[in-house]
Structure 1
Amino acid sequence: MPIYVYWGEDDFAIEQAIASLRDRILDPLWISFNYTAFPPEQADAVICGLNQVMTPTFGAGGRLVWLSNTTICQHCPEDVLTEMARTLPSIPDNSFLLLTIHNKPDERLKSTKLLKQFATEFREFPLIPPWKTELLIQAVNQAAQARGMKLTPKAAEMLAEAVGNNTRLLDNELEKLQLYIADNHQSLNEDTIIRLVRNTTQNSLQLAAAIRIGDAAKALTILNDLMNASEPGLRIVATLIGQFRTWLLVKIIMESGERNPQAIAKATEVGNPKRIYFLQQEVKLLSVQQLISCLPLLLELEVSLKQGSTEISALQTKVIELCQVCRAS
């Protein structure tokens, strides 16, 4: 039962997994006969895909049927469920069914349970939260090692700050750095990162810092730079939400009387306890209520962007509102 289910928010990692699966299954000379992708806009995509995967292959290699961004793990009509129950156990060994899902599958649905029962691989591709710097650095080092590259600890930290959890950008930057090393026979240190890598996530953190002190002029300048650098609005918001969430947790725990950096780090999911001191200094002049008031504004901003609001206008308005909240004594 060669069934693969890939889900999560890391689109680039999913694309890489799909490319690897395609290369492994399909014969290049017979791709046009044995490879079919069904988009989510097609009303009968699932039924057609299940029928297609039962079709014998042509020529060499196997058959791959891809249900792209399907929603059957969030909502599955009864007729589709019936067809799944009939087809999934009977897929030929040389036919492969691939399903990609953006949102987390609903474990309560019968369709999800069926897929988990018969799937060869049921794999999540999550994005690392932008505030989990240790995991981001680890991901940078792993990606570099996969390319046979070595980074100094400081270079890995700076690259993680620059690309955040954008795995596509990380891959592009590493490819550029790899070419530079080959041409110049140099090791990858912090100086190379400074010269060649455009820093965007760090600017988003600088935006959070400007908002925290209520400096609207500086915050709007940083925001304008991010927009000019084509930084996606939702990624900016994700960084802001993560940073304000961490600040709020640190402030609440401080006011509860806890002083142990290890205990605070564990409660706030901060990997490095040494970072707690700096976080405590950052929130010293802010109240719990101010930080609490910021989160609904950020969530409103996220919703408005997802609903199609104009990025620059929505971001500017909320940044000003956030600065006003943080500036209020």
Structure 2
Amino acid sequence: MPHALITGGAGFIGSHLSEYLLKQGYTVTIIDDLSTGRFENIAHLAQHPSFHYAIEDIRNIHVVDRLVSECDVIFHLAAAVGVKKIIEEPINTIEVNIGGTETMLRAARRYRKRIMVASTSEVYGKGVKFPFEEDDDSLLGPTTKSRWSYATSKAIDEFLSLAYHQEVDLPVVIFRLFNTVGPRQQGQYGMVLPRFVRWALANEPIQVYGDGQQSRCFGNVTDVVDGIYRLSLSEGAIGQVFNIGSNEEVTILELAERVRDRANSQAEIKMVPYEEAYAPGFEDFRRRVPSVEKIGRLVGWEPMTPLDDTIDQIIAYYREKS
């Protein structure tokens, strides 16, 4: 049976991918330092005979070397996550994202392993052409604003990954994740939907930053990991970049209203200026909408789960936890 190594495997997406691959008959090993991932996310898998874990930093080359030598495919998801954490810890963001990816690529090259590299819609920056297509230009803000360190570090990850493919023929696939949501996602790092749900269930004010007219597309994690898996099986995906996300667009204010309604909550919706939520001069994107035509053409993938169903799943998850 194939053996997958998942970096960041105790995280929100990594834990769902672990479940998915186990169901496909894979042996799964995860590595995670639990800086943002949680052992709770994988505790239910710990006794599975085909599941293994290492609690370690992916920059530990000795541990990574051994794990890569034993696997058939690498899913590299480990990264600094969440707007709040990125702004507060820019050094860690840059070092983990670039240093971690460099470690994984070197190990993958050493043992000639296929590596699936997670990137982000952030690399499009302040682009104004919608929907975002994989070959579109990026428009990033100034280096004086740490908000852009994450996007830049992930863009370097992409450049480095593609360089390994071009120079040494490493089988690399890059997938850019747009907003991905579902059960187990936590709100403490700035993820908007779990925060809205928790506030709604507690009948506390649902805080909408800015004017609420910024729009996003929220992909269900089950759909997203299916897309990642399909790309991992496709020879045609090697050396390519793909968007993965929902194309159901919603404003953040509308999202707050939908969460409140579906939770049958009496919570008020409170508008909060960006300067109070983050820091003076914070910049945000007005729209972020992916084109998913490229992945659809290659592997037949498309987002399947309506946003309301995803909201209901997250509400049920938090109700069960409370």
TM-score normalised to structure 1 length: 0.30
**The structure with more helix, counted as a fraction of residues:** 1
Between structure 1 and structure 2, the one with the greater Rg is 1
**The structure with more strand, counted as a fraction of residues:** 2
